[in-house]
């Protein structure tokens, strides 16, 4: 029987452009899809966009567009983004599509028929950013949402309630009977305690805005955006009787449906979603197999700001470094299931160590030796004669272990064990020393060594393919192997040796050309916010702010559009420079004390010293990004803002303003 694997990402809100956090989930889902295809399973990946709700309606209004035009445009950015990262979803669902809207209405009717909806009225705090009601204890003083740092709104409306409280016991039994339903374990425990502490009925419709799916039979109401959005996993598989439903809900061990989500939206997926499904008549064993929550990314140790998070544009990274490199960094640097950091310096360290020096070097060395010692042909050696010194138990165990890790969604560990094989093979080259055997005239031994290495490389070309699809294909060309073509029930996970039969090998070209220090530096300069050359006071976490002073960014590519919300999150103020001094032992930096109309002067450290003397700046009115996270320059020197300027670091021009009071806000 064919095994099936259905993998979904959250559908992304279209008030934002695709950022690294979205890319993370989506790349992980794609890698899992590719792994299962390799195993001969029937795999299906779904992603898409979440396009209804108050947040989107407001973003559209701020952009001066109709909601429809706005969502069409923004959704397209997501659809177009994924191929740049070599992500190939089987379906892309939009919640404004008729196929979705009609089927959500069917689910609504089923839930209503089960007696789990009733009309009432509600008054509570609502956070538009989260699209959810909040209890007072979840808020910060001043009724501010801790995630969005914006005041919540008091909402009083007639609403349909979903009888969530009815499902408390069934949910707890579900978590108990199916320990894998929520993973990782710590997340499961959080959800269990949440449900144990008691569930309140849930408001699932709104009357105060129109941008949503009308409630059947009562069009004054539109559905709660999460009721609408969660259903996408079901609506994308067609209605009742659609053959796609073989992916889910299909009973039996051989079908797995996994929702990948960020930890921020775990409760929606593990409490509301199963409760909606149970209410709509699904049985416990028809629920998805697993909700897996991954952690949150920071970038270079900094939190990705909710409103300014296109700081690192994953698409730009992919265009500069290749999709495979970005995929590898995302999936290797961050333990899947935990929070982690995407750091640019680490990216290059890992690139050089793992990709270039381990995998790339193994391929190049082996091909180089083959050209020299066997005239570029793979030696024909019977599989039982291959060298067990390399292709012995250890490599076989690592291969099996890697597959188990993929099955358990331990992606970073699957990569770890894959690369352990490559490291063993590199050590083997030195130990087996085929050049010495050649010198002795022992061609049979040369053949065994090279055939063994080629065999391992062939194996690696398969094992890396879920994460490095393009490089895997390049490897196979160089190895003279046919492209990997997956097909149903054909398990291609390496098991037995014997891939090579005297193939003529392709020509060797470095798989991952190394970045020397200068090239790495140049690339980092291009990719990262640059406090010094860009003459900004602190490393910005926002490309939006940085492009204001970044001549390269202006010429390389136009900045991504930002929303009004994002723009208003940048606090630009008039600052009057009161004092200024050079920073000892730093040729580029000045330490300024700037009057922003606050009780105390702000200390700002800026890369202005190659253009300006300290004295020249005192008394100038400059433009300051006043709400940038502080940056620590060490030795007690901390910068609390950024000064805007343009030009190269030795010929800067400051953005200045006449006659405005210190602290005046620019808008
Ligand atoms: N539209 C809802 C999801 C509905 S699913 C039925 C939503 N959308 S979102 O655009 O805000 O994207 C949420 C997802 O993006 C998170 O769950 C997570 O997968 C991903 N991430 C957003 N920021 C992230 C990080 N900083 N790090 C990792 N992933 C993050 O919520």
Each residue's pLDDT tens digit, 14-28: 998 899 999 999 999
* From 229-233, 476-480, 565-569, 612-616, the region with the lowest mean pLDDT: 565-569
Other CB atoms closer than 10 Å to residue 250's CB: what's the count?
14
Atom of ligand 1 nearest to the CA of 229: 6
- Segment 422-435 shows an average pLDDT of 97
Q: What is the pLDDT of residue 561?
A: 66
261 in ligand 1 pocket by Cβ < 6 Å?
A: yes
CA of 505 to the centre of ligand 1 (A): 44
The reply to whether 469 and 566 lie within a common domain is no
50 in ligand 1 pocket by Cβ < 6 Å?
A: yes
Residue pair 573/566 in contact by the 8 Å Cβ criterion:
no
Q: Given 533, 562, 580, which residue is the final one in a domain?
A: 533
Assess whether 259 carries a catalytic annotation: no
Cα 607 to Cα 115, 315, 531, 551, 579: the distances in Å are: 65, 28, 6, 15, 15
For residue 232, being part of any structural domain is answered with yes
- Segment 37-52 shows an average pLDDT of 97
For residue 635, being part of any structural domain is answered with yes
304 in ligand 1 pocket by Cβ < 6 Å?
A: yes
With DSSP H G I counted as helix, E B as strand and the rest as coil, what are the percentages for the chain, rounded to 5? 45, 20, 40
CA of 296 to the centre of ligand 1 (A): 9
Regarding predicted confidence, which is higher, 350 or 503?
Answer: 350
Q: By CB neighbour count within 10 A (0-12 exposed, 13-18 middle, 19+ buried), where does 661 fall? A: exposed
CA of 12 to the centre of ligand 1 (A): 6
Instruction: Name the catalytic one among 130, 221, 294, 588.
Output: 130
- Segment 332-347 shows an average pLDDT of 93
Distance separating alpha carbons of residues 462 and 475, to the nearest angstrom: 10
Assess whether 41 carries a catalytic annotation: no
For residue 328, being part of any structural domain is answered with no
For residue 603, being part of any structural domain is answered with yes
Assess whether 580 carries a catalytic annotation: no
Atom of ligand 1 nearest to the CA of 265: 17
Distance separating alpha carbons of residues 601 and 580, to the nearest angstrom: 12
Assess whether 19 carries a catalytic annotation: yes
Instruction: Name the catalytic one among 68, 154, 251, 303.
Output: 303
Q: Is 340 helix (H, G, I), strand (E, B) or coil?
A: strand
* pLDDT at residue 542 tops 70: no
Stated pTM of the model: 0.79
Atom of ligand 1 nearest to the CA of 264: 17
Other CB atoms closer than 10 Å to residue 283's CB: what's the count?
10
Cα 101 to Cα 241, 340, 388: the distances in Å are: 18, 36, 59
Instruction: Name the catalytic one among 41, 100, 145, 471.
Output: 145
Number of domains in the chain: 3
Assess whether 130 carries a catalytic annotation: yes
Cα 519 to Cα 216, 366, 513, 562: the distances in Å are: 60, 26, 11, 31
* pLDDT at residue 551 tops 70: no
DSSP state of 662: T
CA of 543 to the centre of ligand 1 (A): 20
The reply to whether 591 and 449 lie within a common domain is no
Q: What six digits make up the tokens of 124?
A: 């509570």
Strand partners, 218: 215
The reply to whether 593 and 490 lie within a common domain is no
The reply to whether 572 and 520 lie within a common domain is no
Counting every residue written for the chain, the total comes to 667
For residue 661, being part of any structural domain is answered with no
- Segment 196-213 shows an average pLDDT of 94
Q: Which residue has the tokens 């997340």?
A: 187
DSSP state of 143: T
Residue nearest to atom 17 of ligand 1 (CA): 262
Q: What is the pLDDT of residue 305?
A: 62
The reply to whether 406 and 542 lie within a common domain is no
For residue 329, being part of any structural domain is answered with no
Contacts of 486 (CB under 8 A, 6+ apart): 37, 38, 40, 492
**CATH number, position 239:** 3.40.50.620
CA of 13 to the centre of ligand 1 (A): 8
Residue nearest to atom 22 of ligand 1 (CA): 21
411-432 and 323-333 helices, crossing angle to 10° = 110
* From 104-108, 648-652, 663-667, the region with the lowest mean pLDDT: 648-652
**CATH number, position 425:** 1.10.730.10
Q: Is 247 helix (H, G, I), strand (E, B) or coil?
A: coil
11 in ligand 1 pocket by Cβ < 6 Å?
A: yes
CA of 275 to the centre of ligand 1 (A): 21
* pLDDT at residue 10 tops 90: yes
Query: Which of 630, 614, 620, 616 lies closest to 537 in space, CA to CA?
Result: 630
For residue 316, being part of any structural domain is answered with no
* pLDDT at residue 554 tops 90: no
230 in ligand 1 pocket by Cβ < 6 Å?
A: yes
The reply to whether 459 and 605 lie within a common domain is no
The reply to whether 497 and 545 lie within a common domain is no
Residue nearest to atom 16 of ligand 1 (CA): 262
For residue 555, being part of any structural domain is answered with yes
Residue pair 257/269 in contact by the 8 Å Cβ criterion:
no
Cα 497 to Cα 369, 377, 396, 427: the distances in Å are: 21, 17, 10, 20
CA of 39 to the centre of ligand 1 (A): 29
13 in ligand 1 pocket by Cβ < 6 Å?
A: yes
* From 331-345, 503-517, 525-539, 607-621, the region with the lowest mean pLDDT: 525-539
67-84 and 20-38 helices, crossing angle to 10° = 50
Q: What six digits make up the tokens of 613?
A: 């003397």
Q: Which residue has the tokens 């309140």?
A: 200
249 in ligand 1 pocket by Cβ < 6 Å?
A: no
- C-alpha R_g of the chain: 28
74 in ligand 1 pocket by Cβ < 6 Å?
A: no
Strand partners, 92: 47
Q: Extract long-range pairs of 94-99: CB within 8 Å, 24+ residues apart.
A: 94/48, 94/49, 94/51, 95/11, 95/48, 95/49, 95/50, 95/51, 95/52, 95/213, 95/228, 95/229, 95/232, 96/51, 96/52, 96/68, 96/71, 99/235, 99/236, 99/238
Q: What is the pLDDT of residue 559?
A: 53
The reply to whether 528 and 562 lie within a common domain is no
Query: Which of 666, 646, 374, 410 lies closest to 535 in space, CA to CA?
Result: 646
Q: Is 268 helix (H, G, I), strand (E, B) or coil?
A: helix
- Segment 435-463 shows an average pLDDT of 96
47 in ligand 1 pocket by Cβ < 6 Å?
A: no
Assess whether 303 carries a catalytic annotation: yes
Q: Is 594 left (phi over 0), alpha (psi -120 to 50) or beta?
A: beta
Residue nearest to atom 23 of ligand 1 (CA): 21
Q: What is the pLDDT of residue 165?
A: 97
Residue nearest to atom 18 of ligand 1 (CA): 262
Distance separating alpha carbons of residues 473 and 490, to the nearest angstrom: 18
Q: What percent of the chain has pLDDT over 70?
A: 93
234 in ligand 1 pocket by Cβ < 6 Å?
A: no
Question: What's the domain range around 647?
Answer: 538-654
Q: Which residue has the tokens 């949440």?
A: 194
129 in ligand 1 pocket by Cβ < 6 Å?
A: no
Name the average pLDDT for the chain: 89
Atom of ligand 1 nearest to the CA of 16: 10
The reply to whether 140 and 257 lie within a common domain is yes
Q: Do you find a cis peptide bond into 616, omega within 30 degrees of 0?
A: no
* pLDDT at residue 228 tops 90: yes
CA of 529 to the centre of ligand 1 (A): 24
The reply to whether 457 and 598 lie within a common domain is no
CA of 21 to the centre of ligand 1 (A): 7
The reply to whether 184 and 59 lie within a common domain is yes
Per-residue burial over 160-188, b = 16 or more CB atoms within 10 Å of its CB, e = otherwise = bbbbbebbbeebeebbeeeeebbbbeebb
Instruction: Name the catalytic one among 22, 100, 259, 588.
Output: 22
Type and span of the H or E element at 194: helix 185-196
Q: What six digits make up the tokens of 307?
A: 């409103």
Contacts of 619 (CB under 8 A, 6+ apart): 576, 577
Q: What is the pLDDT of residue 531?
A: 40
DSSP state of 665: B
């Amino acid at each position: 029987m064919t095994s099936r694997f259905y993998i979904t990402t959250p559908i992304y809100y279209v008030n934002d452009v695709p950022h690294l956090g979205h890319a993370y989930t989506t790349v992980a889902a794609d890698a899992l899809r590719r792994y299962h295809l390799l195993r001969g399973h029937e795999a299906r990946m779904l992603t898409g966009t979440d396009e209804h709700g108050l947040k989107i309606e407001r973003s559209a209004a701020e952009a001066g567009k109709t909601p429809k035009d706005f969502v069409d445009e923004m959704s397209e950015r997501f659809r177009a983004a994924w191929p740049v990262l070599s992500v190939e979803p089987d379906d892309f669902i939009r919640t404004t599509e008729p196929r979705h809207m009609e089927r959500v209405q069917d689910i609504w009717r089923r839930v209503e028929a089960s007696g789990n909806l009733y009309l009432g009225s509600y008054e509570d705090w609502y956070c538009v950013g989260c699209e959810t009601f909040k209890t007072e204890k979840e808020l910060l003083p001043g009724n501010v949402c801790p995630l969005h740092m914006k005041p919540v709104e008091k909402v009083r409306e007639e609403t349909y309630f979903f009888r969530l409280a009815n499902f408390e016991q069934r949910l707890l039994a579900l978590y108990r009977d199916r320990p894998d339903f929520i993973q990782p374990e710590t997340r499961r425990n959080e959800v269990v305690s949440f449900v144990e502490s008691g569930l309140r009925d849930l408001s699932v419709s709104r009357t105060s805005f129109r941008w949503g799916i009308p409630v059947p039979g009562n069009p004054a109401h539109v559905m709660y955006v999460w009721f609408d959005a969660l259903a996408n996993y079901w609506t994308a598989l067609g209605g009742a009787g659609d053959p796609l439903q073989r992916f889910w809900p299909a009973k039996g061990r051989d079908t797995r449906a996994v929702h990948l989500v960020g930890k921020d939206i775990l409760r929606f997926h593990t409490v509301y979603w199963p409760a909606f499904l149970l209410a709509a008549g699904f049985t416990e064993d028809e629920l998805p197999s697993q909700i897996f929550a991954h952690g949150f990314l920071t970038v270079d140790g900094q939190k990705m700001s909710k409103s300014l998070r296109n700081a690192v544009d994953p698409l730009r990274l992919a265009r500069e470094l290749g999709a495979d490199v970005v995929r590898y960094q995302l999936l290797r640097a961050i333990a899947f299931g935990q929070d982690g950091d995407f750091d640019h310096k680490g990216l290059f360290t890992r690139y050089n160590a793992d990709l270039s020096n381990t995998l790339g070097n193994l391929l190049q060395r082996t091909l180089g030796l083959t050209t020299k010692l066997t005239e570029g042909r793979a030696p024909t050696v019977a599989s039982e004669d291959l060298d067990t010194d390399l292709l012995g138990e250890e490599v076989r165990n690592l291969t099996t272990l890697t597959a188990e890790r993929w099955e358990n969604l331990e992606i970073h560990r699957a990569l770890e064990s894959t690369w352990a094989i490559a490291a063993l093979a590199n050590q083997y080259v030195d130990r087996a020393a085929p050049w010495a055997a050649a010198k002795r005239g022992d061609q049979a031994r040369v053949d065994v060594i090279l055939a063994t290495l080629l065999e391992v490389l062939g194996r690696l070309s398969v094992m890396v393919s879920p994460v490095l699809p393009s490089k895997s294909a390049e490897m196979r060309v160089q190895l003279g192997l046919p492209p990997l073509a997956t097909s149903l029930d054909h398990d291609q996970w390496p098991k037995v040796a014997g891939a090579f039969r005297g193939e003529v090998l392709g020509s060797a070209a470095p798989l991952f050309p190394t970045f020397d220090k200068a090239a790495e530096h140049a690339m980092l300069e291009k990719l990262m916010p640059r406090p010094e050359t860009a003459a900004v006071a602190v490393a910005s976490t926002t490309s939006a702010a940085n492009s204001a002073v970044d001549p390269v960014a202006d010429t390389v590519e136009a900045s991504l559009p930002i929303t009004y919300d994002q723009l208003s999150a940048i606090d630009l103020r008039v600052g009057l420079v009161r004092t200024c001094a050079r920073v000892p032992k730093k040729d580029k930096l000045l330490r300024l004390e700037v009057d922003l109309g606050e009780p105390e002067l702000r200390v700002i450290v800026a890369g202005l010293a190659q253009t300006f003397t300290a004295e020249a700046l005192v008394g100038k009115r400059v433009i300051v990004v006043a709400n940038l996270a502080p940056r620590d320059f060490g030795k007690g020197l901390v910068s609390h803002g950024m000064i805007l300027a343009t030009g190269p670091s030795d010929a800067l021009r400051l953005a200045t303003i006449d006659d405005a009071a210190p602290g005046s806000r620019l808008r």
